[in-house]
Amino acid sequence: MAHQSKRHAGNSNLHLHYEDTFRGLPVMASYAPFITEYLERLYETTQLALSDHRQVFAIRFDLRFPDDDLPPESGNAVISRFVDSLTARIQLARKRSERLNGSAHQTSVRWCWVREIGQEGRPHYHFVLLLNRDAFHTVGRFQSERENLYSRIQSAWASALRVPFEDAVGLVHIPANATFHLSQGDPEEMDRYFHRVSYICKAATKDFGSRCRAFGCSRD
């Protein structure tokens, strides 16, 4: 058996995980090794969401940059702006629903993201969002005239990029099998979720040579 390094070559503070499960949950073994610390934070963030809410709606999506444009700033200012904008839009939607209906389920906004370098050296983000399922249970239709979770994500990304909403069309990508309805009493759905989203924790394509962080998540 080939030697398996225990630490990431690009960042010796990070440890590598080669097994096909993590904390008893399956991971996408074909993408091993994973970064142990990222798996741990993904697991913790998910558990915090489930401690907030009886049922959790989770969605994984990708954020891309326009073909002819990359953010001029260093660091992760663009993803920070996205998180702030999306959180504000989600909470505003809950307040509007409460005003219209007299009451509305509230939600915490928990998330994890990773920054990766793809083809031609272009960065992109993978994002996992966790919300109260009683407040949000679907992403909505992509071309809907009504505001929905997808349009809020696109609006937040447009705001983060500082471009018009229309210019962000196609820059938010939701892959197949990317939404999940989680609860403590449904281990099969939790297995499906963690296996699917473990992909973002793979060691490959992470960039540690720039001043940009490769991983971020919501805090307690």
Can you give the residue ranges of every domain in the chain?
Answer: 7-217
> What is the C-alpha separation between 196 and 217, in angstroms, rounded?
17
Rounded to two decimals, what is the model's pTM?
A: 0.91
> What is the C-alpha separation between 144 and 150, in angstroms, rounded?
9
What single string gives the DSSP state of each residue in 92-154? HHHHHHHHHHS-------EEEEEEEE-GGG-EEEEEEEEEETTT------TT-SS--HHHHHH
* 187-197 vs 36-52: helix crossing angle, rounded to 10: 140
Ranges in the chain, pLDDT < 50: 1-2
What is the separation, in whole angstroms, between the first and last Cα of the chain? 41
The tokens for 17 are: 């995980």
pLDDT the model gives residue 1: 42
pLDDT the model gives residue 120: 75
Whose tokens are 């998330």? That residue is 111
DSSP state of 18: -
pLDDT the model gives residue 213: 86
Whose tokens are 């440890």? That residue is 15
pLDDT the model gives residue 64: 93
Q: Is 211 helix (H, G, I), strand (E, B) or coil?
A: coil
pLDDT the model gives residue 133: 95
